[in-house]
Every structure is written in C-alpha cells, then in structure tokens.
Amino acid sequence: MKKKLKNELKEFFDNFIKVLKRPDMAILPGQLAFFFVLAIVPTITIISYGASALNLSTDVIFEFLSNAFSKDIASLLLTVPETSNLSGIGFFIVVIVGYFTASNGPASIIVTSNIIYGEEPGSFFTRRLKAIIMTFFLVLLFIFMLVVPVFGTKIIELFQFVNLDSAITEKVTTIITLLQGPITWLIMYFFIKILYTIAPNKKVKSKSVGYGALFTSVSWIIITYIYSYYINNIAYYSTFYGSLANIVILMIWIYLLAYAFTIGMALNYRKEEVELEKTGTIKAK
C-alpha cells in the first residue's frame, strides 16, 4: 500500500515537473487570466440579476470577497448596473450581450485546451457555440456556490425559529457550517470536470480528467486562502499601485487561478500520455 502510494506520488510530481517545463505554460495562463477578467464582471452581473429575480441575497458573495480581499473589491465586482430604466426587449438585450461577453472566458479555455492537446482550433462559430454552453455551466457553478451557503443559513434560521432544544440547534448549526465548505468544494470539482471534458476538440472521457480536476479544485482553495491571508496581513499594494491596488489584487488572484487551471488541464493530457506510453501506443518522451 505504501509502495503504491509512493509510486503514485512520484508519478504525479514527475508529471507536474514536465507540465511546468512546457513552453506554452509561460503564455497560456496569462491569456486565460485576461479573458477571465473580461468574463467575471458580466458573469457576476447576470447572476446578480438572477438572484434578484429569485429573491436571493448576494450578501454571501459580498462577504466572501470582503473577507478574502476587501470591501472595495467586493463592491467593484458586485456593482450591478442600473436596470430600472430597462424593460422588455432592452433588458433582454442587456442580458444576452452580457452572457455573450462572459463567454470570452470559456472561449479562451477552449483555445488553451486545444493547444495543450495538440488539436486544431476549429471554426470560430463552433468554438463560440461551445463557449456559450460552457458559460452556462460556469454560471451554474456560481449559482450553486451562492445557494449552498444561503440554503444552509436558512436551515439554521428555521431551527432557531422553531425554538428546539438549544443543544440540538447548536449541533445542527455546527454540522451545516462544516458541510458547507466540502459541499461547495465538491460542486466546484464536478463543474471543473465538466469544463475539462467538453473544452478540447476531441472526445475526452469524464473519468480521465478527474486527475487534473482534483488538482485544480484543491489548488483554487489553497491559493484563495493563502493569497487572502497574504494581502490582508503582509502585502501593501497601495504603496506601489495607489488607487489601482484593488484591480491589481484581483488580477493577480485570477492569474494564479488561471495558472492552476491550465496546469490541471495539462496534467490530464500528461496522464493520458503516460497511459499510452505504458500500453506502447506511443513512445515515451
């Protein structure tokens, strides 16, 4: 058992080093991060519209961004344009344009995956159609990450309203609070697997991308916590960037997430290569 685990860890680190040495790793994360930045605001705007229509509060997202970074960044991302003067076709057009703009992120994921897998880019319209479908999954991911904490909070409020035994209420509160994190992480892992599966212009089995999806999910969680601690307790970006500090903080965070995402995708491809090498389908590199 120990020997097997040791071999798996060795294989992972060997693959990880080979992935980092890829020449395109110096380019792809930055490109992906740029389009993530372009996509994140319209995506959150659409979600804010949907949350408002469903009477869901975006306070959970605001609180997370405020605690992780600052209230200025939370306000920057969660500012929803004034829509009181929009109705009917005007509002519909705004949502469609916002959704199309948000699809720039998934479109870049598709380009990145095709470069990594060595596939042809395909036609613009095919790529954009796939990107629009992937945007739907990204929006769903954000919605689930919003609903899970809200749903847990509502259950706690219900127990408090019913006024059961205080010990029981406290236990339920503790359990739900502990579960909210893992449930959100599991949802994140599931949607990352979907993106890794449908992004390349080749047939990729869902089970073959779990390797990279797990790495990306864990990396995103670790990066967010460490980066949050760093900027709140150590770094002083305003000294160098002044009023642009909030934007710089946001962009560096997104770049790190994009880098982890790209590595996860490349690990999936490398894992596939290793399997083919073992079967003798291709020669070992």
**Residue in 118, 172, 115, 139 with CA at minimum distance from that of residue 282:** 118
In terms of DSSP H, where are the helices of the chain?
2-20, 28-53, 59-68, 71-78, 89-102, 104-117, 124-162, 166-198, 210-233, 238-241, 245-279
Q: What is the pTM of this model?
A: 0.77
Measured CA to CA, the distance from residue 235 to residue 212 in angstroms comes to: 30
Q: Who wins on pLDDT, 281 or 246?
A: 246
| 148-152, Cβ contacts within 8 angstroms, sequence gap of 24 or more | 148/180, 148/183, 148/184, 148/187, 149/60, 149/180, 149/184, 150/56, 150/57, 150/60, 152/176, 152/177, 152/179, 152/180
Q: Which amino acid is residue 124, in one-letter code? A: F
User: pLDDT tens, 109-126?
Assistant: 898 888 888 888 778 888
What pLDDT score does 84 carry? 47
pLDDT band at 196 (very low <50, low <70, confident <90, very high): very high
CA–CA distances in Å: residue 4 to residues 248, 270, 275? 43, 19, 16
Query: Mind listing the pLDDT tens digit for each residue in 47-63?
Result: 666 666 666 566 666 76
pLDDT number for residue 216: 92
Q: Yes or no: say if 273 and 285 are a contact pair by the CB < 8 Å rule.
A: yes
